[in-house]
Amino acid sequence: MSSSPTSLHLAVALDGAGWHPAAWREPVARPGELLTAAYWTDLVAEAERGLLDLVTIEDALGLQSSSRTEPDGRTDQVRGRLDAVLIAARVAPLTRHIGVVPTVVATHTEPFHISKAIATLDYVSTGRAGLRLQVTARAHEAAHFGRRTFPPFGPDDYRTPAGRELVNGLFDEAADYVEVVRRLWDSWEDDAEIRDATTGRFIDRAKLHYIDFEGTHFRVKGPSVTPRPPQGQPIVSALAHATVPYRLVARSADIGYVTPHDAGEARAVVEEIRTEQAAAGRADETVHIFGDLVVFLDDDPAVAAARRERLDELAGEPYTSDAPVFTGTPAGLADLLQDLAAAGLTGFRLRPAVAGHDLPAITRGLVPELQRRNAFRREYEADTLRGLLGLTRPANRYAATATA
């Protein structure tokens, strides 16, 4: 568990110049460098200076859009991005403690490839890797692959029977995807490499396992080509807004990112996930529930509000989000986080409205404030992301079977 009963976990969600669509126009933004290694290295190093548990890196298989369902053809916002797994791998050797958690899209990618990619990220970060699972029903992204088609799907379609069926199907597929990825991570026992010169055997093949997964969308034989990663099981996380994704978090994830707007809502979400977790037989496992918040932070609340207004004006519309938006001081945010934590959230993933401004405000304003309240670590207490999250290194499911 956490280092102290009141200690929070903190993550930061990195996306381009920041989460506000006009963030790139701020003087501190580096809009011409969003596709460079230096930009990402600097952001993650800043997050590590703040002793954060992890960074997530957003991704998608299509251009960014102000529409949730289709491209918008806009030229006044950041468009174009790099593959999140590669960004994570590029920054990992240059950091030492912070978790690196790229987004992966389950809908169009191969669990075999992703399993070895995240296992390798765990090797290159020496035990700090995770993934953030995402599904997509966007028709235009499916057209980039040409293997499946989706009907046009808007926010209202969640309520129709066909919409529900589509969403349920995508999340069932994602659950299978995680199951394949996790089995592949376990498909080598930790001591499978024996280098036994007397028999000439490099591995003990009895410690390698076919995963033989068969589901609606995949049939994957295994074993992985990559040995079991340092953490055994890197961290699996997902953003969730409703019952179906809550169930995925409860069954398959180590961290769920949720978006309650007050303590009451937070309590309800936590209760729903805990109930699902128990139903899935995972009641004794640690599943973190992090609240997601977009943050505009300044030492003077009026300055923060004015900055948000200025950005909205540049964007031509008020900023809205799936997550609650906090505008104010680091101390005010610390109050809110502690209030939400009391409702059962175990940590937070903060989305800096302007990466170049609000990330340092988190690391140099919020973090010291939480430390003063004895609610956040003063130094990294573990070498792995699992360690930072208070998770033990899991036993290998196949080894356990063998000794049972």
Q: What angle do CA 218, 87, 386 make, to 5 degrees?
A: 70
| Cβ-based nearer residue to another protein, 158 or 218 | 218
Q: Is 89 in the site for another protein (CB under 8 A)?
A: yes
Q: Using CB under 8 A, pick the residue from 121, 137, 238, 391 that binds another protein.
A: 121
- Interface segment toward another protein; rule CB under 8 A; list 7-15, 102-110, 299-307, 365-373: 102-110
Q: Is 216 in the site for another protein (CB under 8 A)?
A: no
Contacts of 170 by beta carbon, 8 Å cutoff, 6+ apart: 106, 107, 135, 136, 137
Coil vs helix vs strand at 28: coil
Q: Is 48 in the site for another protein (CB under 8 A)?
A: no
| Cβ-based nearer residue to another protein, 70 or 265 | 70
Alpha-carbon Rg for the chain, nearest whole angstrom, is 21
Q: Match 């699992």 to its residue by tokens.
A: 386
Residues numbered 227 to 246 that lie near another protein (CB under 8 A) are 227
CB 279 within 8 A of CB 308: no
Q: Is 62 in the site for another protein (CB under 8 A)?
A: yes
- Interface segment toward another protein; rule CB under 8 A; list 197-205, 324-332, 360-368, 373-381: 197-205
Query: Applying CB under 8 A, what is the total number of residues that bind another protein?
Result: 80
Integer angstrom CA distances of residue 119 from 116, 298, 373: 5, 39, 36
Under DSSP, the state recorded for 14 is: E
Q: Is 140 in the site for another protein (CB under 8 A)?
A: yes
Residues numbered 160 to 189 that lie near another protein (CB under 8 A) are 188
Q: How far is the CB of 21 from another protein (least distance, A)?
A: 10
- Interface segment toward another protein; rule CB under 8 A; list 43-51, 109-117, 246-254, 329-337: 109-117
Q: Using CB under 8 A, pick the residue from 157, 190, 193, 381 that binds another protein.
A: 193
- Strands (DSSP E) found in 79-218: 99-105, 130-134, 193-196, 201-203, 213-214
Q: Using CB under 8 A, pick the residue from 157, 190, 204, 265 that binds another protein.
A: 204
Q: Using CB under 8 A, pick the residue from 3, 45, 69, 79 that binds another protein.
A: 79
- Interface segment toward another protein; rule CB under 8 A; list 18-26, 238-246, 340-348, 390-398: 18-26
Q: Using CB under 8 A, pick the residue from 3, 6, 69, 120 that binds another protein.
A: 120
Q: How far is the CB of 288 from another protein (least distance, A)?
A: 25
Q: Is 82 in the site for another protein (CB under 8 A)?
A: yes
Q: Is 377 in the site for another protein (CB under 8 A)?
A: no
Burial group, residue 403, by CB count within 10 angstroms (0-12, 13-18, 19+): exposed
Residues numbered 304 to 323 that lie near another protein (CB under 8 A) are 314
Q: How far is the CB of 342 from another protein (least distance, A)?
A: 39
Tokens at 37, concatenated: 């290694």
CB 388 within 8 A of CB 231: no
Q: How many helices and strands, by DSSP H and E, does the chain display? A: 13, 13
Name the CA dihedral angle for 368, 371, 373, 375, rounded to a multiple of 10 degrees: 130
Q: Is 80 in the site for another protein (CB under 8 A)?
A: yes
> Residue 103's beta-bridge partner residues?
132
Coil vs helix vs strand at 77: coil
Q: Is 145 in the site for another protein (CB under 8 A)?
A: yes
Q: Round to whole Å and give the CA distance between 124 and 90.
A: 9
| Cβ-based nearer residue to another protein, 222 or 328 | 222
344: left (phi over 0), alpha (psi -120 to 50) or beta: left
Q: Is 331 in the site for another protein (CB under 8 A)?
A: no
